[in-house]
Amino acid sequence: MKLKDDRKYALIFRAALKLVAKKGLSGITMGDISKEAGIATGTLYVYFSGKDELINALFAACRERSVAVSFKGYNPQQPFKPAFKNVWLNILKYRLQHFEEVIFLEQCYHSPYITAETREKAQQLAAPFYALIARGQAEQLLKNIDSAMLITFIIGAMNELVKQIHYSGIALTRPKINTSFELCWDALKA
């Protein structure tokens, strides 16, 4: 194992996410995390200066991954609606597969753990989404409303959808996915 192993960061993150999803941000201790990760408590302090840094780092990592995956396969040549649907599907799939991250991010939203700096950086990651919405509006396909409002609408509905699916345990079939997308699209379309 050379230098601080990337796999160990991943191990710690995975443990923390699992626990937060189960017990909430308020319910986890450094001891819990180390135990879940199968390492000694002291080792956490080799990788992070403390609990605050650990959580901020995890928050930043989740946000980055979430955005990175959203635009996979995005092609500006493609007509808007299918291109948008592609992004929407990327987000939906990712969030369903990484449900713990959804919970974690939600819990962080009003947590004192997350510093203003971390928040600021996370905010900047949203730029591509604004660009996408702007394109749809320029092509007169989307309602001409404050784009922040449209985005929060999309994301809010999506998050609840993800939660609903996750907890209901109902399998998400192709037709159901399409129906859900149309629900969203009907709201946004001009």
Partner DNA sequence: AATATAAGCGAATAATTATTCACTAAAAAG
Partner DNA sequence: CTTTTTAGTGAATAATTATTCGCTTATATT
The contact set with DNA (CB under 7 A) reads 1-5, 8, 28-32, 39-43, 45-47, 49-52
Helix (H) or strand (E) holding 108: helix 99-108
DSSP 150: H
In angstroms, give the least distance from the CB of 69 to a copy of itself.
20
Cβ-in-10-Å burial (0-12, 13-18, 19+) of 110 comes to exposed
> Taking CB under 8 A as the rule, does residue 24 contact a copy of itself?
yes
Kindly tell me which of 113 and 181 has the beta carbon lying closer to DNA. Answer: 113
Contacts with a copy of itself in 83-122 (CB under 8 A)?
103, 106-107, 109-113
- CA-based nearest residue to 98, from 134, 66, 144: 66
157 contributes a contact to a copy of itself by CB under 8 A: yes
Residues 67, 122: contact at Cβ < 8 Å? no
To 10 degrees, what angle do helices 99-108 and 6-23 make? 70
Give yes or no for a contact between 60 and 115, defined as CB atoms under 8 angstroms apart.
no
Partner from DNA, a copy of itself, none binding residue 157, C-beta < 5-8 Å depending on class = a copy of itself
**Residue numbers at the binding site for a copy of itself (CB under 8 A):** 20-27, 103, 106-107, 109-113, 143, 145-146, 148-149, 152-153, 155-161, 163-164, 168, 170, 179-180, 183-184, 186-189
